Structures are given as C-alpha cells and as structure tokens.
Amino acid sequence: MKRRNFIKKGCAACAGLAGLSFLLESCGSSLPIFKTTPEKKLLFIPEDKFTADNHHLLVRSKELENDILLIKNKNDYTALNMKCTHEGFALTVTDKQIVCPAHGSTFDFSGHVTKEPALRPLTTFTTEIKNNTIIIHLP
C-alpha cells in the first residue's frame, strides 16, 4: 500500500470515527465529575452537586489513582472505588452497571460482581453527611 493511499484512508477512518462519536454523543449525557483534594484522608462533596435527574457523581483527585463513584441512595450515599478487582484497570460507568473494558468484568451499583473474571467486590468507602456535605473516608 502506498504511503499516500494509507494517509488518505487513515484520515477518512479518523473522520468516520469522529463522526460516529458525534452521533453517539446524542445517545447519553456525560457523568458529572467533581474534582477535589483530600484533607486528612477525607473528601468533601457538597450535596447540591447531585440533581433530581442525576444520582451518580464521579469524584476525582490527583492524589487518588482512580475515580470514586458516589451514588445517591434514598437516605445515604455509596462510594465505590472505580478500580477493577481483577487486575486493577479503571472501570466505566453506564446507566445499568459498572464495567471493566479491559477484561469484561461487570459490577452492580452496590459494588458486587455480576460477571467475572473479577471475583471480589469493589472497594467501598465509608460516607457520612454533615451540614449538607458528603464526607468520604479514605483508608
């Protein structure tokens, strides 16, 4: 294959992928990300970061290897480490479940394994609510 043909076809493929991404963008809304810094192994997230429509929030910090998925339940919050318990790859959140793109493990929103190869549930962090602020306790 000549270099010019490869470049033409490569550019066409990239344009096609970009177009596909644009189309797929209309299929769902992005998960909000809240960036913060731990203070003495505690993360503070204002409750008003959750809306009536959105019960999931990703908490991100430069000090942490992985995001934390914060889930608003009826009366409390669940904080799950977004690190697959199989080989430690980062997890992806969908509307139905938490998935590992690397090897196919899936978890429910309680952190329990629903499909292997992961065998152990996700690490869960303790949470509490004080003065309209969610506090995540890091180990």
Partner 1 sequence: MNYKQLLAFFSFFFCINHYKAQAQVLTQEDSLYAGLISKDQKTVLSGYGEARYTVNTKRKTATASLSRVVLFVGHRFNHKISLFTEMELEDALVAGQSGDEDASAKGGISMEQAFLKFNLNPTTYLVAGLFIPRLGIINENHLPTTFNGVDRPFVEELIIPSTWREIGVGLYGTIKNIPGLNYSLALTNGLNAENFTSGSGIRKGRQLGSQAGGLGIGASGSLLYYIHNFRLQASGYIGGSTALERRVADSLLLDSGPFGNPVLLGEIDGQYTNKGWNVRLLAAGISIPKAFEINRAYANNTPNAIAGGYAETSYDVLYPKHKGAKSLLVFGRYEYMDLNASVPVNGIQNDANRQQYIIAGFTFKPIRGVAVKADYVQRITGEPNPALIITPFPQQVPYFKSNGFINLGVSYNF
**Interacting positions 23-42 with partner 1 (CB under 8 A):** 24-25, 27-31
Q: Least distance (Å) from partner 1 to the CB of residue 44?
A: 19
**Do 139 and 64 touch, CB atoms closer than 8 A?**
no
Q: Least distance (Å) from partner 1 to the CB of residue 12?
A: 12
User: Among positive and negative, which fits the CA dihedral 6, 11, 14, 19?
Assistant: negative
Q: Counting contacts by CB under 8 A, is residue 65 touching partner 1?
A: yes
Q: Where do we find the tokens 């043909």?
A: 5
Applying CB under 8 A, the residues found at the interface with partner 1 are 1, 6, 13, 17, 20-21, 24-25, 27-31, 60, 64-67, 82, 87-90, 92-97, 99, 101-104, 106, 113-117, 119
